[in-house]
Amino acid sequence: MAGNSLIHFQLKNPVLRMALGMSMLGCALAPVCAEPVPAAVVVNAAASGAGVVPAATPTFPSAPTTGLTPVTEIDKLPESQKSAEISTETLKPATTLALPGGADAPASAAGTAQSTQGVPVNAAGPAAADTPATAAAAGAFAVTTTATANAAPAGGETPAGGQQVAADPLVSSGQALPVTDKDLWERIRRGFKMPDLQSKRAQSSTRWYAAQPDYIARMTGRASMYLYHIVDELEKRNMPTELALLPFVESAMQPEAVSFAKAAGLWQFIPSTGRLYSLEQNLWKDERFGVIESTRAALDYLQKLYGEFGDWHLALAAYNCGEAGVERALARARKAHRSVAYQDLRLPNETQYYVPKLQAIKNIVADPQHYGIELPVIRNEPYFVAVNNTADIDVVTAARLADLPIEEFRALNPAYSRPVIVGASSPTILLPADRADSFNANLAAWQATGQPLASWTAYTLQPGETLSKLAERVGLTEAQLREANHIPPRYRAAPGSTILIPRDESNNDDIAPGFISASFALVPESTNLRQVSYRVRRGDTLASVARRWHVSADDIVAWNQLHSMSLFTGQHLTLTVARPATAAAPVAHKTSARKPAPAAPATRAGNINAIPVSASKSGAGAAGAHAPLPATAVAASSSRM
């Protein structure tokens, strides 16, 4: 209203009216060569204080320096701050675009508009006919530009994800055009909608994070690869952008993070919940680690929880400890005629700190200078593009074609843990947006030589066949074959398991679709071995645990996929150890008194529970729950060992 009143006053004043007319004439006569000016963007005057802002043309950034250290981020948290018991370290991506196949640059991005209430709405992008889309160099790789940075397709058009998006009424009527933030952090701040949590825990968490600038720097550095995608997806659903900060709490923005409860990825899905939300988990890929699919699943789940509880704080609590836990807490509060607000409920200790930690991150993002924190610049542009692949390709080859270090390629594509990406599984490969053209050119040059893109094929292990004999036959060492198939020490692949072996010169066929659902099981090399779960106690180290159980520290790292040599109290370790020898009962002689049988060997520690070997990571309920596991095999279809 203030902006409209000012304009009305100016038009009624003849002097100002003349000045306004001269100003408009000057704009009309301004030289065109100064800078291409896209469509003007109408901004809510009450929200921004600006009148008309040009939409920025995006320039795609080069890969950021992530600066990862081989230290588990969660290990640096105090006990009260630990969430989801994360026990690994990693980094990752951020948005679903597709690539141009030739020299055409991706279409310029439209920003996020604001309605008169200040609520972000999707803005119309360029018409489909105006979007450059060049055929990929090879028919097996579909590399096309399918979306602009923030643009919603018109009604009936289908975005890259394949879902129909209804036309926004504001967009179709032309009532609002997008406002463009060059800084993604500012875009996030504008989308804050959740009520602030005012509690001592929130204040304590804010102080703790503010005192850890290096930790914040590492997390936000990793976030630069995927945060744009998360924010974009939230705005498409009109969800609060505070939720884009949730992976800071869940996984420290590490897409390869795995908790001891087998929750995985940025959003920490356990296997059963992942399957419930259509995250594919098989021998070749685990979409809980993939940025695009796991983000889609997480937002689906959060929307469902908000619909159930009608409150974002309760929805987040349920995301952490499960719907049943929150429902029980609500029932207890109602029965006692107490408040049913999140901060007043009796919830598990971790859940009581869960929302306060998100509030702490929000506080710092909202006003980093106040807390002495410097956030890295993250451009409001897509970081990556998506390439749809139907041919087998080695991970190393794909990284080489994109001129990427293998670490960065894996950071963008953590769902693929094997050395080959199987085309029959319809994979989507993510690449930095500025590497699209080089990938296409290099792919065309590679294929012109007639070289295969993949050097691995699938093989079913036969009964009686050993890894050492098979490795010798295919020209590898046993260690190389174990590494390619994630077979840890003291284990072997069970007969009938599908493993990878090098292709020979006569085999140019890709892995058949029938292998997508193939099984892979591990069994102990010796029948005298058993698997136990050990809970780390205060003062434990890898060396002390290894000595106690007569195993090597390297084996513990391999069995548990540890990315750090440090342990934290409460961490669960899976150990494969020798079975205790059973003492033979003494023979009773007629002339001697019967002697009592010797007592069973004492358990080494009171918090040790021998559990059978896992055949899958399914069956867990809320994060942190362990399901009983089958006795002879550990299924590696979803394992990342």
Q: In the prediction, which pLDDT does 405 show?
A: 95
Q: 318, 353, 371 — which closes off a domain?
A: 371
**492 and 625: one domain?**
yes
Residue 61 lies in a domain: no
Q: In the prediction, which pLDDT does 393 show?
A: 95
Strand order in the sheet with 529-535: 572-578, 529-535, 609-610
Confidence of residue 342 (pLDDT cuts 50, 70, 90): very high
Residue 633 lies in a domain: yes
Q: What is the rounded CA–CA span in Å between residue 630 and residue 620?
A: 14
Q: In the prediction, which pLDDT does 180 show?
A: 61
**497 and 351: one domain?**
no
Among 398, 529, 499, 414, which Cα is nearest to 454's? 398
Confidence of residue 50 (pLDDT cuts 50, 70, 90): very low
- Out of 85, 250, 280, 293, pick the active-site residue: 250
**353 and 464: one domain?**
no
Here the contacts of 586-594 (C-beta below 8 Å, separation 24 or greater) are none
**351 and 465: one domain?**
no
**472 and 621: one domain?**
yes
> 432 is written with which tokens?
């930095």
Domain with residue 298: its CATH number is: 1.10.530.10
Amino acid symbol at 220: T
Residue 302 lies in a domain: yes
Q: 340, 371, 402 — which closes off a domain?
A: 371
Among 376, 380, 431, 438, which Cα is nearest to 408's? 431
Q: In the prediction, which pLDDT does 90 show?
A: 34
> 187 is written with which tokens?
């875009």
Q: In the prediction, which pLDDT does 213 show?
A: 95
Q: In the prediction, which pLDDT does 139 show?
A: 57
Angle at 480 between CA 478 and CA 481, to 5 degrees: 65
> 144 is written with which tokens?
């096309």
Q: What is the mean pLDDT of residues 285-301?
A: 97
Domain with residue 561: its CATH number is: 3.10.350.10
Alpha carbon distances (Å) from 294 to 87, 236, 253, 269: 19, 16, 13, 8
Q: In the prediction, which pLDDT does 140 show?
A: 67
How many CA atoms are closer than 13 Å to the CA of 321, on its beta-carbon side? Answer: 21
Extract the runs of DSSP E, i.e. beta strands, from 277-427: 384-389, 393-394, 420-421
Residue 628 lies in a domain: yes
Q: What is the mean pLDDT of the chain?
A: 71
Kindly tell me if the per-residue pLDDT of 371 is higher than 80: yes
**348 and 480: one domain?**
no
Angle at 616 between CA 395 and CA 263, to 5 degrees: 70
Confidence of residue 20 (pLDDT cuts 50, 70, 90): very low
Among 156, 155, 157, which Cα is nearest to 147's? 157
Residues 300-332 have pLDDT tens digits of 999 999 999 999 999 999 999 999 999 999 999
> 63 is written with which tokens?
């890969």
% of the chain residues with pLDDT over 90: 46
Residues 108-119 have pLDDT tens digits of 333 333 333 333
> 210 is written with which tokens?
């503010």
Q: Which residues of 378-414 are buried (b: 16+ CB within 10 A; e: fewer)?
A: bbbbbbbbbbbbebbbbbebbbbbbebeeebbbbbbb
Q: What is the mean pLDDT of residues 605-627?
A: 34
Tell which wins on pLDDT, 597 or 230.
Answer: 230
Phi and psi angles of residue 34, each rounded to the nearest 5 degrees, phi first: -60, -50
> 315 is written with which tokens?
């929805």
Alpha carbon distances (Å) from 387 to 363, 403, 429, 432, 502: 37, 15, 5, 11, 25
* Count of the separate structural domains present in the chain: 2
Q: In the prediction, which pLDDT does 581 show?
A: 63
Residues 385-423 have pLDDT tens digits of 999 888 999 999 999 999 999 999 999 999 998 999 999
Confidence of residue 219 (pLDDT cuts 50, 70, 90): very high
Q: In the prediction, which pLDDT does 271 show?
A: 94
Residue 531 lies in a domain: yes
**345 and 228: one domain?**
yes
**490 and 617: one domain?**
yes
Among 252, 377, 243, 356, which Cα is nearest to 302's? 243
Alpha carbon distances (Å) from 159 to 113, 314, 427: 19, 32, 17
Q: What is the largest CA-CA distance in the chain?
A: 128
**328 and 470: one domain?**
no
Specify the 3-state DSSP secondary structure of 8: helix
DSSP assignment of 190-210:
HT--SPP--SHHHHHHHHHHH
Per the listing, tokens 């994109």 go with: 402
Q: Which range is least confidently modeled, 448-462, 515-529, 576-590?
A: 576-590
250 is catalytic: yes
**Phi-psi sector, 195: left (phi>0), alpha (psi -120 to 50), beta:** beta
Q: What is the mean pLDDT of residues 35-42?
A: 32
DSSP assignment of 50-79:
-SEEEPPPP-PPPPP-----SS-GGGGS-G
Kindly tell me if the per-residue pLDDT of 640 is higher than 90: no
Q: In the prediction, which pLDDT does 555 show?
A: 84
Alpha carbon distances (Å) from 175 to 104, 111, 123, 339, 465: 30, 15, 10, 43, 70
Q: Is the dihedral of CA 416, 421, 424, 426 positive or negative?
A: positive
Q: In the prediction, which pLDDT does 582 show?
A: 57
Q: In the prediction, which pLDDT does 539 show?
A: 87
Q: What is the rounded CA–CA span in Å between residue 348 and residue 341?
A: 15
Q: In the prediction, which pLDDT does 176 show?
A: 34
Kindly tell me if the per-residue pLDDT of 101 is higher than 60: no
Q: In the prediction, which pLDDT does 594 show?
A: 46
Residue 344 lies in a domain: yes
Q: What is the rounded CA–CA span in Å between residue 125 and residue 148?
A: 7
Q: In the prediction, which pLDDT does 142 show?
A: 61
Residues 220-259 have pLDDT tens digits of 999 999 999 999 999 999 999 999 999 999 999 999 998 8
Q: What is the CA radius of gyration of the chain?
A: 28
Q: What is the rounded CA–CA span in Å between residue 287 and residue 274?
A: 8
Q: Domain limits at 639?
A: 455-509+519-581+602-641
Residue 590 lies in a domain: no
% of the chain residues with pLDDT over 70: 62
Tell which wins on pLDDT, 388 or 72.
Answer: 388
Q: What is the rounded CA–CA span in Å between residue 218 and residue 442?
A: 32
**493 and 617: one domain?**
yes
**199 and 327: one domain?**
yes
Kindly tell me if the per-residue pLDDT of 33 is higher than 50: no
Confidence of residue 523 (pLDDT cuts 50, 70, 90): confident
Cα distance between the two ends of the chain:
61
Specify the 3-state DSSP secondary structure of 381: coil
Residue 283 lies in a domain: yes
For residue 98, the cross-strand partners are 386
> 406 is written with which tokens?
């293998």
Q: 341, 371, 401 — which closes off a domain?
A: 371
Angle at 429 between CA 428 and CA 434, to 5 degrees: 130
Q: What is the β-pairing status of strands 123-124 and 151-152?
A: parallel
Kindly tell me if the per-residue pLDDT of 173 is higher than 90: no
Kindly tell me if the per-residue pLDDT of 30 is higher than 90: no
**349 and 216: one domain?**
yes
Residues 626-637 have pLDDT tens digits of 333 333 333 333
